[in-house]
Amino acid sequence: MATASLSIDLDAIAANWRALDRASDRAVATGAVVKADGYGLEAGRVARTLARAGARQFFVAVVEEGVAVREALGPGPAINVFSGHMAGDTQAIAGARLTPMLNSADQLARHLEALPGHPFGIQLDTGMNRLGMEADEWAAVAEFALSQSPRVVMSHLACADEPGHPANAAQLAEFHRLTDGISVPRSLAATGGILLGAPYHFDLTRPGIGLYGGAPFAAAQPVVRLSIPVVQVRAVAEGESVGYGCSWVAQQDGAIATLSAGYADGLIRAMSNRAMLYAGDVACPLAGRVSMDLLTVDVGHLDHVPDSLDLLCPAQGVDRLADAAGTIGYEILTSLGGRYARHYAGDAG
């Protein structure tokens, strides 16, 4: 079979959620971010696993994702939508019982007019300048908005993966300034914020990348293994080039394995000539450019070329691969393509 195999350990996702849940006080609820189709690992399966682990608050990016997660979970858990209540979203929000995080006075007015009494939350901008009401806008609507009983008031940290960055303390102080004294539950911390410690936890945390084995949660259990079949092995002589653009040239006689995956499968071209694949614990350099359907790998140092090589495995997690490609683990995970034969292990509940 020429299809690469993507193995996903649902028990590891549950274990990572429990570990991040234990990282905060029992009075703090721990939610789960399952946007981008569960970071590329299938939101429905991931959300059901996390619900069985104990998560009762889920977060998605857009309403369409929320509808899919509601279909997977059924009634009960809260499904919160970061993009808020956009024009045209009303029917889906009501039908799937979603909770939009309202990002502006306009969204607040739209929601309360279209769905009076329907749950909502508020998102504030504390310095990231991305989503949420800024201080002046919040001051103008806060009294009225709070009188409508929002479920949560939240913000998001820009630099939580850098514990010493001054923006963390600045955003924490701004969040306090904007929200101290309110009786509504508050949320500031995603994975990185949880690891910054108790001052950032408030009433609800929202772990995302850490659930899937990514930094900055260094203690995370690995979640994915990507094994790519070897289609062909050929000898190469010193001085011969490999792949498009002749960008890799053999420095000695050796062997090249051609593997069945490429950028059509989400293996970004920035990995070219930089990433490693693994035969067990033995690293094998990617030789030449990533092409649409194929990788070429230097295997001249192996005594035996196995039927497949691993790109993601215990020897190389998403962040180590991301470092080689000059990106972040989020991009590696969410780029994993649809041609893989996916295998889910664990969480048989």
Active site residues: 35, 244
- Distance in angstroms (rounded) separating the CA atoms of residues 342 and 241: 34
Question: Is there a contact between 55 and 30 (Cβ–Cβ < 8 Å)?
Answer: yes
- Distance in angstroms (rounded) separating the CA atoms of residues 272 and 290: 5
- How many residues are recorded in the chain? 349
Burial of 348 (0-12, 13-18, 19+ CB in 10 A): exposed
Instruction: Please report which residue ranges of the chain form alpha helices under DSSP H.
Output: 10-22, 35-39, 43-53, 63-73, 90-95, 105-114, 135-147, 166-179, 191-196, 318-325, 329-335
Name the amino acid, one letter, at 323.
Answer: D
Question: Is there a contact between 133 and 123 (Cβ–Cβ < 8 Å)?
Answer: yes
- Distance in angstroms (rounded) separating the CA atoms of residues 85 and 114: 10
Sequence-ordered list of residues with C-beta below 8 angstroms from that of 177, at least 6 positions apart, any chain: 135
Neighbours of 106 (CB within 10 A): 13
Distances (CA, A) of 192 to 11, 31, 121, 128, 261: 22, 14, 22, 15, 32
Residue whose pair of structure tokens reads 């029917």 in the numeric block? 91
- Distance in angstroms (rounded) separating the CA atoms of residues 281 and 75: 45
User: For 99, how many CA atoms within 13 A lie in the half-sphere containing its CB?
Assistant: 21
DSSP track, 248-289: EE-SSSEEEEEES--GGGT--GGGTTT-EEEETTEEEEB-S-
Q: Six-digit token pair at 331?
A: 């991009």
